[in-house]
DNA sequence: CGGACCATTGATAATTGTCAAAATTCGTGG
DNA sequence: CCACGAATTTTGACAATTATCAATGGTCCG
């Protein structure tokens, strides 16, 4: 991990310009905040926070992606979020005294901004819009968690795999004349750990979908959705 | 459902005095807000919001409890939250244009306060503390959802039943010399739908725990935890 | 007391997890 | 650019867990 104090290298390209939570502020306000921000870089595989650790900063992703996960005592991993550019984490630490409820690990090389608790809290009072943006974003995340909970509670694995592909198609997909090509942020093992099933089960389900002509797997990191409509139907949407 | 406009019947006992999200305000501020609030009552079993409906108010529970649930097309229910006194819902509607992501049904007779979107939004700007209180509460809920997700993803049913009993022991339990007696807010079917398993499986697991001397079921609505420590051990805490 | 509703139990089936082995993919260094 | 070894993924066989269906037994409340 490499850290840089302040924003002297950003030259108007600071992360705060592209982060939704600051989007309601004007230029001068942004400049003031920019001075409070530290920049850091991580290599793929590096851990940014450890579950259970005390942290005193909010971290905002400038580029790259990361997974947030929890581990059970027997070592099983459950991925709870996938963060990409513009997403933030560590906000719990700003409000409560709770330690991190998940670990965050870089899925790619990662550039982030951090803002310490002491610097951040006054901003919430000074600019109520920031709180409201955060509330909006947390609502969005809760919606996803509720969905995931429902998926794991009452849906079978086919449904969950289909949901995941559609979710990734929106976030990491681009249209081609053959279908939607998805740059998968997770390995098969990662997918398994996101859906709460065994790695082998993911292989089998994707294999079946490929036989059925719904998807085509180019390699371990990209999948083409040949029949997105079939997936939407499978999840009843 | 019975509705009363304003707070003329509350006589200083308005819900806003007992609701955490307003706890940072002084008396005069509370009085001003009290005038914006409507009171409503529901009978056990009544639906307060339907999933998918548009709603323009935040609802705060004054007394009683309610379940928030989602239904899949084949009619399976997944309970995502259980709300009791002081909890609120509908806050998504205040910030986004999204329709309700879950239905809410009264588990007991219920008294609630509601505050309309139009009245509530200005408060967030006027009193940043309210946003912060809501953020804190949402963080709490996300923590629970993340836990639930992990439970459903990587834990077996024994673990989940044990977690539920411990969760309920804190919220709905009282100490006796025999153990902790829990007034269960949910039927066996409700427990099943909260944990994402079949009703029969819950019966079997609780039956096994009773055989093992860990719990004693008094009737369908109350359970005594004879060996809370055994449960804590079962969840690895 | 009776009837409706809810919970339990048993038998069986379906789905998914686990373990082991083979096949593929990936990244590095020549 | 190719080849090689490591890592990841796929496949198969089997086991374990839980869902489902059906019947029985309890409980609650008028």
pLDDT digits (tens, 9 = 90+) for A5-57: 554 545 455 677 778 889 999 888 898 899 999 999 999 999 999 999 998 89
What the block records as the tokens of A205 is: 């389900």
Task: State pLDDT tens for residues B7-55.
Answer: 454 545 567 777 888 999 998 889 889 999 999 999 999 999 999 999 8
Residue B38: partners with Cβ closer than 8 Å, 6 or more residues away: B3, B4, B5, B6, B113, B114, B115
Whether residue A128 and residue B125 make contact (CB cut-off 8 A), yes or no, is yes
The minimum CA-CA distance between A11 and chain B, rounded to whole Å, is 32
Whether residue A154 and residue B78 make contact (CB cut-off 8 A), yes or no, is yes
Percent of chain B surpassing pLDDT 70: 94
Cα pseudo-dihedral A104, A105, A110, A115, rounded to 10: 20
Q: Taking the model in full, what pTM does it have?
A: 0.92
Per-residue HEC secondary structure of A78-146 comes to: EEEEEECCCCEECCHHHHCCCCCCCEEEECCCEEEEEEEHHHHHHHHHHCHHHHHHHHHHHHHHHHHHH
What count of other Cβ atoms lies within 10 Å of the Cβ of residue A63? Answer: 15
- State which residue of chain A sits closest to B196, comparing Cα positions: A153
Task: State pLDDT tens for residues A134-173.
Answer: 999 999 999 999 999 999 999 999 999 999 999 999 999 9
Residue B2: partners with Cβ closer than 8 Å, 6 or more residues away: B40, B41
Q: Are strands A215-219 and A222-225 parallel, antiparallel or unpaired?
A: antiparallel
Cα pseudo-dihedral B114, B120, B126, B131, rounded to 10: 80
What the block records as the tokens of B189 is: 């079917």
Instruction: Give which of B48, B41, B36, B32 is closest to B5, Cα–Cα.
Output: B36
Residue matched to tokens 């979107």: B117
| Ramachandran quadrant class, B84 (left: phi over 0; alpha: psi -120 to 50; beta: rest) | beta
Which pLDDT score is estimated for A197? 97
A120 within 8 A of A130, measured Cβ to Cβ = no
DSSP string, B115-153: EEHHHHHHHHHH-HHHHHHHHHHHHHHHHHHHHHHHHHH
CA gap B155, B157 in Å, rounded = 7
Provide, in whole angstroms, the distance separating residue A43's CA from nucleotide C29's C1'. 22
Provide, in whole angstroms, the distance separating residue A79's CA from nucleotide C9's C1'. 37
Cβ neighbours of B143 in A, within 8 Å? 92, 98, 101
State the pLDDT confidence band at A2, using cuts at 50, 70 and 90.
Answer: low
* DSSP 8-state secondary structure symbol assigned to residue A169: H
Which pLDDT score is estimated for A101? 95
Which pLDDT score is estimated for A17? 79
What average pLDDT does chain A have?
Answer: 91
What the block records as the tokens of A213 is: 């002509």
Task: Tell me: pLDDT of B121 over 70.
Answer: yes
Q: What kind and span of H or E run contains A158?
A: helix A157-172
Q: Tell me what the mean pLDDT of segment B82-90 comes to.
A: 94
Q: Tell me what the mean pLDDT of segment B103-123 comes to.
A: 94
Angle between helices A128-154 and A117-126 (to 10 degrees): 110
Which pLDDT score is estimated for A3? 65
Task: Tell me: pLDDT of B67 over 80.
Answer: yes
Task: State pLDDT tens for residues B171-202.
Answer: 999 999 999 999 999 999 999 999 999 999 99
* DSSP 8-state secondary structure symbol assigned to residue B54: -
Residue B201: partners with Cβ closer than 8 Å, 6 or more residues away: B157, B192
**Interface test with chain B among A58, A121, A135, A151, by most B beta carbons within 10 Å:** A135
State the pLDDT confidence band at B236, using cuts at 50, 70 and 90.
Answer: confident
The minimum CA-CA distance between B102 and chain A, rounded to whole Å, is 9
Residues with CB under 7 A from strand D: A 187-189, 199-200, 202-204, 206-207, 217, 220; B 156-158, 196-198, 200-201, 219-221
Q: Tell me what the mean pLDDT of segment B129-138 comes to.
A: 93
Q: Tell me what the mean pLDDT of segment B133-158 comes to.
A: 95
Residue A199: partners with Cβ closer than 8 Å, 6 or more residues away: A188, A189, A192
What count of other Cβ atoms lies within 10 Å of the Cβ of residue B231? Answer: 23
A118 within 8 A of A130, measured Cβ to Cβ = no
What count of other Cβ atoms lies within 10 Å of the Cβ of residue B37? Answer: 22
What count of other Cβ atoms lies within 10 Å of the Cβ of residue B54? Answer: 11
């Amino acid at each position: 991990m490499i850290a840089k104090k302040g924003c002297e290298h950003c030259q108007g390209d600071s992360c705060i310009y592209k982060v939704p939570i600051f989007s309601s502020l004007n230029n001068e306000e942004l400049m003031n905040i920019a001075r409070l921000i530290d920049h850091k870089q991580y290599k793929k595989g590096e851990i940014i926070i450890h579950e259970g650790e005390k942290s005193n900063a909010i971290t905002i992703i400038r580029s790259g992606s990361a997974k947030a996960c929890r581990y059970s005592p027997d070592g099983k991993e459950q991925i709870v979020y996938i963060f990409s550019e513009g997403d933030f984490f560590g906000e719990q630490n700003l409000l409560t005294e709770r330690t991190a409820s998940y670990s965050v690990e870089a899925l790619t090389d990662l550039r982030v901004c951090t803002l310490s608790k002491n610097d951040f809290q006054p901003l919430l009072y000074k600019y109520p819009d920031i709180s409201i943006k955060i509330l909006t974003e947390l609502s969005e995340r809760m919606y996803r968690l509720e969905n995931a909970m429902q998926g794991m509670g009452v849906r079978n694995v086919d449904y969950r795999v289909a949901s995941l592909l559609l979710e990734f198609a929106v976030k990491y997909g681009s249209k081609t004349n053959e279908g939607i090509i998805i740059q998968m942020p997770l390995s098969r093992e990662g997918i398994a750990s996101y859906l709460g099933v065994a790695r082998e089960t993911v292989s089998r389900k994707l294999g079946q979908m490929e036989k059925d002509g719904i998807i085509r797997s180019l390699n371990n990191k990209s999948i083409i959705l040949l029949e997105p409509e079939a997936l939407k139907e499978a999840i009843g949407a």
